[in-house]
Amino acid sequence: MHMPSTLLSNRSRTAELDSAATLSAMLDTVTTEPRSDDQLEALTLAVSADLPVLLWGEPGIGKTAALTQLAESLGLPLTTVIASVHEPSDFSGLPVLGDDPATLGVPMAPPDWAVRLVHAGRGLLFLDELSTAPPAVQAALLRVVLERRIGALQLPPGVRIVAAANPPSSAADGWELSPPLANRFVHLHWTHDHEVVVRGLGGTWPLATLPRLDPEKFSDAVVFARRAVCGLLTARPALVHQLPGSQSRRGGAWPSPRSWDMTVRLVAFATAASASTDVLSLLVRGSVGDGPGFELLAAIDHMDLPDPEVLLADPTAAALPERGDLRQAVLDAVVAAVRRRPDAARWDAAWALLVTAVQTGPPDLVVVPATTLATLRQDDWEVPAEIDRIAGVVSVSRLADRAAAKAGR
């Protein structure tokens, strides 16, 4: 009995498709490995802190793939929502008439993907192509991102929100992000690492894991984070709220009470996880912007510096920082302390500290503080013997400056 040629042909095509599916499955099979990656660590820290994250990057850079792999590594169901193809009502809720709307009101029904997230109790909500969402959709997303509400539905605490966007210049029909929506995110600029891409195409990608938080550091981390941010804003009150002047910068990270609150959380989590300075820099600048972020990082650098009053009280026991910029900051702070409350004993103690600095580090760091300290002398103060040890350093430095000035003519 002969099989019809058409049936044989169909079976042959099915076998070929099955064979192609097997090959595709083999190509889709990849492994992961632990690997140091600052931007991936910053992403997982922000997710761990339950803060909305927005990944900025050119098309094809791997933002979606990173989120997919992150969800798989954390064991979270991934729900992807393309913001630009939805209507505002998909996020604010669709009105549904009940039996007695005049008495009971009109409830706002959520979309099916939101209901699935609530039933799961946990998950990763991925808002993709955010920069192609029109202003009306962006406005509807405000409550989703900040309050975790979609219509009448409250997303459970186990849901984390991450978004991705292309810069408006490279997005299809791109829009600038509205300032209220932009200020609700931690902005991370996603770039590709050549080695990571090559190794990933070979079948091995970096493993995304939540940071290990040390419970013993929690109390100190909270105190440290609050002291760092509050200390900076006390000294620089203009940084509390700075809405950028240009529309493009308003669509990124900028300082506001809301974003400073996020920064406190990020600094605390980074401290509890013993994150590197580079990771902390990505998070802080992604929350309040580059300028205020760098100011906070500099303030954090100086937080562990010795108290100038303690140094003046016992200059013989002073331990000055090894790093040049921190040492310079300490010496400047000591001179400033003498200026605020000048007396002969404090003036003498400051000279003793400058001698210690000359003996234990680069002598050129004492030139400016020594020159300033000398101007603070009052007529009835005796010149301490320590000045002789520093006078040579100052003179040599001035001679070097003059020689450099002549050479530049």
Domain boundaries, the chain: 34-97+104-206, 215-303, 308-407
Specify the pLDDT at position 371: 85
Specify the pLDDT at position 64: 81
CA 123 from centre of chain? 22
| Coil, strand or helix at 409 | coil
Q: How far apart are CA 381 and CA 107, in angstroms?
A: 81
- Non-local (6+) Cβ contacts of 290 within 8 A are 253
CA 191 from centre of chain? 15
* 381: DSSP letter: S
Specify the pLDDT at position 400: 38
Burial class, 363, CB count within 10 angstroms (exposed 0-12 / middle 13-18 / buried 19+): middle
Q: Is 265 within 8 Å of 49 (Cβ atoms)?
A: yes
Q: How far apart are CA 110 and CA 91, in angstroms?
A: 7
User: Is the sign of the CA dihedral 259, 261, 264, 265 positive or negative?
Assistant: negative
pLDDT tens-place values along the chain, 409 residues long: 555 666 556 667 677 888 888 999 888 888 888 888 899 899 999 999 999 999 998 887 878 878 887 888 788 899 999 888 888 888 877 767 666 665 666 667 788 888 899 999 999 999 998 888 888 889 889 989 988 988 878 999 999 999 999 886 665 566 788 999 999 999 999 888 888 888 888 888 887 778 899 999 999 999 999 999 998 898 789 999 999 988 888 999 999 999 999 999 999 999 999 999 999 999 999 999 999 999 999 889 888 778 888 899 998 888 888 888 888 888 988 998 899 899 999 999 999 898 888 888 888 888 888 888 888 888 888 877 767 667 665 554 443 344 345 445 4
Task: Tell me which CATH homologous superfamily contains domain 34-97+104-206.
Answer: P-loop containing nucleotide triphosphate hydrolases (3.40.50.300)
